Amino acid sequence: MKNFTRIALFFVVCAFFALPAQAQNFPKLDGSPADIAYLREGRNAPPIAKIIYSRPQKKGREIFGKLEAFGKVWRVGANEATEIRFYKDVTIAGKAVKAGTYSVYAIPFEDKWTMVLNADTDVWGAYSYKQEKDVVRFDVPVVKLETEQESLAIIFTEPINGASKMIIGWDMTKVEIPIQF
């Protein structure tokens, strides 16, 4: 009888600890998953910049001029506004930018994008965008891609002599943003 009581108690304890694990529901993968890109001068070097963004997918849609209207502020991604952190002062497209964290917006046009770094961070989309919080604005030309980019992607080129480019590509479009540090 003593062994039966021990075995029964063992199963009760196991069942008690197993209940919370079975009851947990985790969300499914986001349709526009978050991603991060770093700008470094070497694999183990301290970061110069870090960009955090969500990667929407084309899914057969017409992106620029349709889904993302020409002449309207766009969050450069999905979900929360894209954010970039500069770990030191940099120059972007010839304009000085202090170390810090900024929201990244774009105003796409057919032949160029007006890029915007804005002081408001931790915001959803471009719904609460305030132009008076802009830190810097500059234009970059649109380059047509040879092959379609299904998901929005942001990368930094390998730094050479204190300079790099942040490249944003989606659908058949890319822009290149020069960064000096």
Rg of the chain on CA atoms, in Å: 23
Does residue 147 sit within a domain?
Answer: no
Percentage of the chain exceeding pLDDT 70: 87
Does residue 27 sit within a domain?
Answer: no
Residue 29 pLDDT = 86
Residue 178 pLDDT = 98
Does residue 86 sit within a domain?
Answer: yes
Could you tell me if 107 and 71 are in contact, meaning their C-beta atoms sit under 8 angstroms apart? Answer: yes
The tally of domains found in the chain comes to 1
Residue 153 pLDDT = 98
Residue 27 pLDDT = 87
Strand partners, 101: 85
Domain that holds residue 108: 45-141
Does residue 16 sit within a domain?
Answer: no
Does residue 111 sit within a domain?
Answer: yes
Could you tell me if 148 and 176 are in contact, meaning their C-beta atoms sit under 8 angstroms apart? Answer: no
Half-sphere exposure of 87 (CA within 13 A, CB side): 11
Name the nearest CA neighbour of 116 among 175, 76, 64, 154: 76
In the numeric block, which tokens belong to residue 55? 């990667």
Give the residues of the chain that fall short of pLDDT 70: 1-22
Could you tell me if 58 and 170 are in contact, meaning their C-beta atoms sit under 8 angstroms apart? Answer: yes
Does residue 98 sit within a domain?
Answer: yes
